[in-house]
Amino acid sequence: MYRSDHDAALARIAALEADLARERSDDAAREGKLAKLEAALARERIELARVEAELAKLRPKPKPPAPAPEPEAPKRTPSTYLGTVVFFAVIALLLVIAMATQCNKRKADEPVHAVRFARVPDEIDALLGAAKKRGHEVLPGSRMITISAKGVTEIGQLHPDYGELEADFQVTVSPPKGPDIDPSVPIGAAPPVDRSPFDDYKCTTLQYRNNEWTENSVLGGMCVVGDLYKNVSEIEPRCTMTSIWARARADGAPGGAIAELRLQQGSWHFSIRDQRATFEKRYPDDCE
């Protein structure tokens, strides 16, 4: 309805403005009619304003803009958790390595007590010299390959009740000769001669206990160790058992105890086995 009224008002205003323009072009005699036309035009303009106001009320109001959606939080997938775990694991590993490196550096900087590397002569050291001489006489051409002692005190003595010293000797011998073979027999027809590593060596063990030396050979000198010590030079101890005891005491071995020591291929094995105290460690034979 307001739309048709609006269009009619516009048409009338246009017609009145046309009449007004014509009348203004005539002479002053027409002034009365001109005033009427201007009044009618003013009323139509007022009506047009009213119709436009009504139309404005009927127009739909614009909808407010929709709020922007909030960003969605990233979803945690199994790979995300795995990456986080790996990251913290690497950090922990680096911390452990750094701490271990610092600890090793601190230990390396610590002064080492001189007794750890000093060769202190003792009673057992003198006994080993005698054992070497006796072993070479019993088994000519042999070499001393292992040394072991039980009941050793801190000052390198054998305990009178529990002390015992052993030295093993080994010598390489020529293999046994097989039976004579007829030269006319082709190779492959003669039976082979069975041999084992035990046939290439002879061994003996010297034992010192209660101020006496005894020889202990297995099956006439058979080496139960076989070729384990093949091409191994004769033992020349650089450390005495007193020196090794001093190292063990510095590492926490109980004082006043007796220990078992064994020297084999340049390494000392020190052990104390007792229900009241147990200690076991290896030391290189590197005394000066």
- The three-class DSSP label of residue 149 is strand
Q: Are residues 126 and 38 in the same domain?
A: no
In a domain, 11, yes or no: yes
Secondary structure letter of residue 225 according to DSSP:
T
Domain total for the chain?
2
Q: Are residues 34 and 134 in the same domain?
A: no
Residue 101 or residue 55, greater confidence? 55
pLDDT band with cut points at 50, 70 and 90 for residue 75: low
Q: Are residues 273 and 162 in the same domain?
A: yes
Element (H, E) at 148: strand 143-152
Per-residue pLDDT for 107 more than 50?
no
34 is in which domain, residue-wise?
A: 2-58
Q: Are residues 161 and 257 in the same domain?
A: yes
Of the candidates 227, 268, 252, the one whose C-alpha atom is nearest the C-alpha of residue 117 is 268
Is the separation of the CB atoms in 169 and 137 below 8 Å? no
pLDDT band with cut points at 50, 70 and 90 for residue 164: very high
In a domain, 126, yes or no: yes
190's tokens: 């003669």
User: CA 247, CA 116: separation in Å to the nearest integer?
Assistant: 5
Q: Are residues 13 and 136 in the same domain?
A: no
Q: Are residues 235 and 120 in the same domain?
A: yes
- The three-class DSSP label of residue 13 is helix
Q: Are residues 134 and 249 in the same domain?
A: yes
In a domain, 74, yes or no: no
* pLDDT tens per residue, range 172-185: 887 767 777 888 88
Burial (CB count <10 Å: 0-12, 13-18, 19+), residue 145: buried
Among 34-43, 65-74, 124-133, 256-265, whose mean pLDDT is lowest?
Answer: 65-74
| 272-to-50, 151, 233, 250, 255 alpha-carbon distances in Å | 118, 9, 29, 15, 11
Q: What is the pTM for the complete model shown?
A: 0.53
Q: Are residues 158 and 263 in the same domain?
A: yes
| 280-to-136, 248, 255, 261, 262 alpha-carbon distances in Å | 32, 9, 14, 10, 12
Q: Are residues 44 and 118 in the same domain?
A: no
User: CA 150, CA 271: separation in Å to the nearest integer?
Assistant: 10
Per-residue pLDDT for 158 more than 80?
yes
Per-residue pLDDT for 73 more than 50?
yes
Q: Are residues 120 and 237 in the same domain?
A: yes
Question: Of 29, 58, 87, which residue sits at a domain end?
Answer: 58
User: CA 61, CA 43: separation in Å to the nearest integer?
Assistant: 30
In a domain, 127, yes or no: yes
Q: Are residues 254 and 120 in the same domain?
A: yes
In a domain, 86, yes or no: no
Q: Are residues 167 and 38 in the same domain?
A: no
In a domain, 123, yes or no: yes
